[in-house]
Chain A
């Protein structure tokens, strides 16, 4: 094990995989010479050269489409969009092409690519640079979605994503890049898709999170422990495939669930998770499922009000307290 940041864990995964497999290429806006807007691709150009690590023009839709074509043509591209917000410019290639060509061509091709996108709110970047679009992607079949919460998962999930023969959307939270943790040194350390991580065991309530929300859930669980409330924290790891069984197993044990989502609540993944929990755990639930969500507003800039729009640890704690005193 080595202690490192989430950023360095992603960087390490990229380097290890590129050393292992010559067909892996990295391209995106400012990923080569500039080494990434968030410095995630530091050292890649110098180690792997211009043929495999390339800067792209600011053409997000085409960045994704080139990755789709390159994957169909025998490469394993890891494309980066500078932030997830720009994915909205690329939704045609993501939804209409990346996620569909295999199916509509009757399984005669595959698209082994990864689309890395930093995102999330909380850095005062305003309405156009603070979005959490995971629910947009989850709505669409034909691709996987990974969203690591810890440095170890950042490495293990990215390596699995690169080796997967399906297109994978790989979401990275900008506020987690400097977070630190123990990361296995094993170059074969792979985190499987579709299996939740139980980050903390507990008995009274299940907190379900993903990405940075899982970290907030852990903080909330630590605070609640002081009040004598035992929380189990489930980190989804991959939003697609979604480990419904893992969630259900925990809620069957605790009888209560708080789902924490950074995205907008309307038609968001929290509602979907709540529905799955109701469908499978209805007779076991001691109280209605509670959602802690981003507010349904465009993100304001001012830090005083920005933080009110994003789930916070205190909000999760409050949600759990209310849940424990509520019933049907």
Chain B
């Protein structure tokens, strides 16, 4: 049963959740268009459907907390504060991109807002998150490190090595599994002997819970509680956010391994219209206000596309820059 939103957070915070989710959706759908036009090339993994996870989790963390992600990383970076213009320019491969056009879709990085990177080797970010957490801990910085990953990453050795390590060294890490049920085309139960994923942390004495990843408020509240727990005890915690990607694994994937009925069920749980419905039902916003928010997001994304389109390509000399300090 859905809890009331009213009173949990101020209205403007709730509207911010809505706006951030709408911005991410608008951004991702625009990326799909730009990919179709050939402006964005290479791999492109879109986040549509999973917005409640990035928005709810980020809101439940402090700005000083570190966030790391995998290759489906646009939303986490943008919600954290990366400029959508520079993210779009990165996807266009332009010199104004957030990583000068050298990273691309899968390797966003925004240290000024403590977004510590998108990593494209499945599970590659786990040890790096442990290292960042260790550094923060030793340097006396009050930071939680939130490490996002997909269900598929839980079958990599680094997952097990890093959970074990995080617990052994008593590090303030929050592991956030975005379980969208498919590692490309392989469904969870065909890849994980224990398909109830959050149970898999018991071997490392790390407490865990499952949360509805289509409900931004539930994700926010779970993250807020978990982050406080991690901060206070200086120990790792694990959240499994159950979610769904509305598109294929990447733009190259037509997702024929999923039935249309399954897709429809999840579409009916779309986190954005459902949250809108609740905002309206509770009198927090009227449809005109929500429409205004959506328009604002659309304009922001159009601006981002224009900025990217008009930005220069990297100079040839950039090839040799940034390899060494």
- Which of A's residues lie within 8 Å of B, judged by CB? 23, 25, 51-52, 54, 56-57, 59, 61-75, 77, 92-93, 96-97, 101-110, 112, 141-142, 144, 164-166
Contact = CB atoms under 8 A, between A and B. Distances in A.
B168 A62 contact: no
B135 interface: yes
Interface hub of B66, B126, B139, B323 (most chain A Cβ within 10 A): B323
Contacts of A97: 119, 121, 124, 127-128
A61 B157 contact: yes
B107 A104 contact: yes
23 contacts: A23-B139, A25-B138, A57-B164, A62-B130, A64-B127, A65-B124, A66-B134, A69-B129, A69-B131, A69-B135, A72-B131, A73-B139, A92-B121, A96-B121, A96-B124, A102-B322, A103-B323, A104-B99, A104-B102, A106-B98, A106-B100, A107-B100, A165-B325
Contacts of A57: 161, 164-165, 168
A93 B127 contact: yes
A96 B122 CA distance: 11
Contacts of B130: 62, 65-66, 69
A25 B321 CA distance: 29
Contact of A69 (B98, B132, B325): B132
Interface string B154-176: 00011001101100110000000
Nearest to B135: A73
Interface in B108-151: 109, 111, 116-117, 119, 121, 124, 126-136, 138-139
Nearest to B108: A105
B207 interface: no
Given A57-B161, A92-B121, A107-B100, A73 B136 contact: yes
Given A97-B128, A106-B109, A106-B322, 20 more contacts: A57-B168, A61-B157, A61-B161, A62-B126, A62-B162, A63-B127, A64-B127, A69-B132, A69-B133, A70-B132, A73-B134, A73-B136, A75-B134, A93-B124, A93-B127, A97-B124, A105-B99, A105-B117, A112-B325, A142-B324
Contacts of A23: 139
A65 B126 contact: yes
Interface of B: 66, 97-103, 107, 109, 111, 116-117, 119, 121, 124, 126-136, 138-139, 157-158, 161-162, 164-165, 168-169, 321-325
Contacts of A109: 109, 111, 117
Nearest to A77: B131
Q: Which of A96, A101, A141 has the most CB of B within 10 A?
A: A101
A241 to B, nearest CB: 9
Nearest to A60: B161
**By CB atoms of chain B within 10 A, which of A57, A74, A92, A108 has the most?**
A108
